[in-house]
Amino acid sequence: MLTVALSCILLGALALYMHFRARIRPMMMLSERMPGPRLHPVVGNALQFGFKTEDFLENLTRAVREHGTITRIWLGNELVILLWDPRYVETLLTNTRMLDKAFMYQFMHTWLGEGLLTATGTKWKEHRKLFTPAFHFKILEEFVGVFNSNDRIMIQKLDKHVNGPGFDIRPYISLCTLDMICETAMGVQVHAQEDSNSEYVRAVRGMADIIMQRTFKPWIQLDSLFRLSPLARQQTKYLAILHDMTNSVIKMSKEEYLQKRANSLTTEERNDIGAKRRLAFLDLLIQAQQDGATISDKEIREEVDTFMFEGQDTTTSGICFTLWALAKHQDVQAKALQEQRAIFGGSDRDATYTDLQEMKYLEQVIKEAHRLYPPVPLYGRRISENLTVGDYVLPAGSNVMVHAFMLHRNPDHFPDPERFDPDRFLTENCKDRHPYCYIPFSAGSRNCIGQKFAMLEMKATISAVLRHYKLSLEDPSETPWFVLEVVLTSLNGTRLKLEPRLWSAPGF
């Protein structure tokens, strides 16, 4: 019996050694030439990033500031190479053979499956092609009314804070963007703002926290060890909430779609009279399935989970940090308000698609907020073959991460990088800038398919808030405490004070 046990141990040790020789050792040899923090046995650099989610981004950013625009770290047996030189970033993101996502995306699979964010190969290409028509500008025009109606509800909820103390606006923005993504992309109303359905929002943040913990803690990266941790039980609870929500959305949308289809004219007849309706995101999936495409119910749920996460949490981050910046920089807020007055005069009417296109300065403000506070501050690829970047060879099997938070603060491209200045995004100030020094929606083949949608939604919501309230900070010296929860958030929330905007008074 003892002999059998010893034989198993020796075989296991041999297997680990062979794995090291085949995969890890070649990566170590190439990575040793790169700058990076000192390694510790087994865990690599993991202990240097802290044990709490709120410490990860700060410690990671400190490491790359110390070691430069290419920095090597090891998280257990995963090699992570961080880039924030736009030339290096361009080499990575324009390489059409480097489309697989980095190792940390695997921790999203229990939630998002193989949706557009995490899928690879042929499946990703086919789904990307399928979804592109859902973001045609004609579809986006139709969504403006949805943005306006949900913004009105949010404004009613915010009114109770007028002339009161500072409060965290993020929960209100989160529920508003949840209503928006469900009504636009999914075609159903979930009334999250009316029902205070924050359970879904809390579950999103809980899952994001677990994903980041597994990324930076090698001892729970293996599924077998993770299942023994308390986090596994929390994940089960969060997944039940998240999947119940998306299953409900799909059920409602499918019933509505099939009802409309049963009552409508044939496709040929609709084309004849020029009344063919452009289909929103979930409609496209359901129609493709009904028309015989090989898309399973599971794949539909994976894509819905993905779009609800990406379309809700990232825009919430973008809106919150932009509102915070407007409250922090009163001169910028005054100039943004001036533009709103030029568009709307003294009217409190809803914004139109054309109005949103005319908000050039507000777009500059949003872009500058995305520069300093990118909603997705890190994203990466798994390298399938050796890739030369500058003077270095990135080894096959490594994970190459774009550190967008630092990329956007590169002083070679953004002088005085910590200063908030929307004029950086005037056309004349952008023309000579490296195209990969500012990529809040990623770039290349796997850029964000919904970036135009997101910009319209953010403009509509920020415009509505700005036209109704004068924004200020309870503590003007306050700065965000950045936390990496897949998307960028602030541990101290987005605390604002609201005063009524007397729309007809020129002083406001």
Query: Could you tell me if 399 and 380 are in contact, meaning their C-beta atoms sit under 8 angstroms apart?
Result: yes
330 - beta bridge partners?
A: none
Return the structure tokens found at 88: 């290096």
Q: Map 265-282 to HEC letters.
A: CCHHHHHHCCCCCCCCHH
What distance, in Å, lies between the first and last C-alpha atoms of the chain?
84
What is the CA 238 to chain-centroid distance, rounded?
A: 19
User: CA geometry: angle at 14 spanning 8 and 18, to 5°?
Assistant: 145
Say how far apart CA 85 and CA 70 lie, in whole Å: 7
Buried b (16+ CB within 10 A) or exposed e, 182-208: bbbbbbbebbbbeeebeebbebbbbbb
- DSSP summary character for residue 451: H
Say how far apart CA 81 and CA 67 lie, in whole Å: 11
Contacts of 495 (CB under 8 A, 6+ apart): 166, 167, 168, 169, 473, 474, 475, 478
Return the beta strands (E) in 128-250 as ranges.
167-168
Amino acid at 479: T
Return the structure tokens found at 431: 């023309």
497 - beta bridge partners?
A: 472
DSSP letters spanning 485-502: ESEEEETT--EEEEEE--
Computed on alpha carbons and rounded to an integer, the radius of gyration of the chain in Å comes to: 24
Query: Could you tell me if 423 and 364 are in contact, meaning their C-beta atoms sit under 8 angstroms apart?
Result: yes
Q: Say if residue 448 carries a ligand binding annotation.
A: yes
Torsions phi, psi of 157, nearest 5? -70, -35
Query: Could you tell me if 305 and 186 are in contact, meaning their C-beta atoms sit under 8 angstroms apart?
Result: no
Query: Could you tell me if 102 and 81 are in contact, meaning their C-beta atoms sit under 8 angstroms apart?
Result: no
Query: Could you tell me if 340 and 466 are in contact, meaning their C-beta atoms sit under 8 angstroms apart?
Result: yes
Q: Which residues are annotated as a binding site?
A: 448
Q: Which residues are annotated as a binding site for heme?
A: 448
